[in-house]
Structure 1
């Protein structure tokens, strides 16, 4: 399916279990060619939503489609969507090669694909070890290999970084970036926000089953601010304000500037022969954005 661009679309997606509403009227789109972080506190409804996208859970109302089709109507699901929901879904007596060979046969994939993925996922050295002896990180790699068997254009990954060491985290970031750059649609649920920030293009944030924000995360955080330290803070503030910057005091000799980037601030200071001792661009972290969007002020108090 190389060349296909398959968006994920949820529209009015709702799931109720008796009196409990796990997901409520959820609408969002995940675009191809991007890594999208699916974020929310524990119990927000992320896993339920992912399972509705793959037909494992039936929505109470609303629709979930991949490339415009519900998962159950896809002609070749395993070649369209790869999903990782459980890093322990292995027979303990099977080797990694056995496990992948079984799933490859079910998906109609050639044996060569097994060897290719063992190498790609860094498992070639452990291919003939039984999975009962695998570490959590190795299980995560094997889960990813299973999801990639059909060379899918869409990936749904629930906490794929669990158990990975720093080297594994770096490897995962590179893999996700590479897959998205190939035009695939990548949706990743994770609580490791400092890692997610390094690779995601977009975010979908939910709380108590409801959407609170969606879009490019850099847009959601707003433009960066520039923190300036200068012994000439007062005349510098006047010059920056005249250039359409928004300026506020941030302490003795310090200014916080919005609407102008760091090079422009430096150029204005030079034009007016004003001294700058420090110039720092401040950006809102994904973690701070997440907390701002999902923390209930009353609960925080």
Structure 2
């Protein structure tokens, strides 16, 4: 059954610790029904921002709201927002069931929710084991179960995939996709970019506490490039540049190695047709989609061209 989502909005958010500015004039929006990846290098300000969203850190200036309200003004915070920060925030002598019961009681959630989540998140067999013996992956599952106790409409998850094996990551993708499809608002930070690429719809990228880019991942990635292997690469590059200059279209050709070109702005059939028309040899054409890792590196090292650095 779908639920009404709530928009998360960060507006001109700044946090200073003495002379250090952890977050600087940061603004972005996270919409319901999609999974948004919150990305940036270590120390970029991701965790500080998420803690300001949950009232754990007070901003120096600006606002962080959920459904138009700061966290402290929500009527039932744990029933609105599920937050996941520290995978080690468990009493080592508690069992998984004990831990969830404590947090359920604190949030005013029924004990039946504990049993439901233990089964839903694959913890039923480990429910009565002490958390001191849990693997990192099991701790992540229990952390997520804790965040979901109030059946929240917003999820703020800091590195939820840490310690999960490939099967666990596939499971996590399924859980989060289901929550987003249900109309919930999901914001996750992660350093496992290959996994994030398979999961997120939108991305927010920050560097040194400032926004670098935000928007749909597919738009930021841009159109694919074409990798061309040709013994006539030099002539083909000149021909591509000339033909498209005459046509008034934007095309970029980079020489990436002997006999190897990367073409931006023309698809593989277009490259093949032009080469054939000029009797130039092509041995291989490979369509290259931009990876999230490459986009991230381009954005956070400042090498991305302006037409790709879009903001929402």
> Structure 2-normalised TM-score?
0.85
Cα pair 1:229 1:254 within 8 Å, conserved: yes
Distance 1:235 1:16 in 2: 53
SS at match of 2:90: coil
Cα pair 1:240 1:265 within 8 Å, conserved: no
Distance 2:250 2:276 in 1: 16
1:146 — aligned with what? 146
Specify which of 295, 298, 301 is matched with residue 292 of structure 1: 298
Query: How far is 1:43 from its partner?
Result: 1.4
SS at match of 2:144: helix
Distance 2:131 2:211 in 1: 38
Distance 1:278 1:296, change over 3 A: closer
Distance 1:119 1:265 in 2: 53
2:108 — aligned with what? 108
Q: How many residue pairs were aligned?
A: 297
1:53 — aligned with what? 53
Query: How far is 1:161 from its partner?
Result: 1.3
Unaligned regions of 5+ residues in structure 2, if any? 304-312
Distance 1:267 1:155, change over 3 A: farther
2:21 — aligned with what? 21
Deviation by residue 1:252-297 (Cα, 9 ceiling, x = unmatched): 6554333333355557778999875422111222122222222379
Distance 2:57 2:94 in 1: 28
Distance 1:270 1:120 in 2: 57
Distance 2:15 2:199 in 1: 30
SS at match of 1:280: strand
Distance 2:273 2:149 in 1: 53
SS at match of 1:3: coil
1:66 — aligned with what? 66
**Farther off after superposition, 118-127 or 241-250:** 241-250
Specify which of 266, 289, 295 is matched with residue 283 of structure 1: 289
Q: How does 1:156-167 map to 2 (within 5 A)?
A: 156-167=156-167
Unaligned regions of 5+ residues in structure 1, if any? none
Cα pair 1:2 1:153 within 8 Å, conserved: no
2:309 — aligned with what? none
Provide the aligned C-alpha RMSD in A.
2.7
SS at match of 1:122: coil
Distance 2:253 2:213 in 1: 28
Distance 2:280 2:183 in 1: 48
Cα pair 2:3 2:184 within 8 Å, conserved: no
Distance 2:163 2:55 in 1: 27
Distance 1:63 1:101, change over 3 A: same
Query: How far is 1:124 from its partner?
Result: 1.0
**Farther off after superposition, 74-83 or 269-278:** 269-278
Distance 1:143 1:240, change over 3 A: farther
Distance 1:3 1:147 in 2: 17
Q: How does 1:126-275 map to 2 (within 5 A)?
A: 126-230=126-230, 237=239, 241=244, 246=251, 248=253, 250=255, 254-263=260-269, 265=271
Deviation by residue 1:168-209 (Cα, 9 ceiling, x = unmatched): 122212222222222211111111112111111111111111
Distance 1:85 1:276, change over 3 A: same
Distance 1:272 1:110, change over 3 A: farther
Query: How far is 1:214 from its partner?
Result: 1.2
Cα pair 2:236 2:275 within 8 Å, conserved: no
Cα pair 1:240 1:247 within 8 Å, conserved: no
Query: How far is 1:102 from its partner?
Result: 2.0
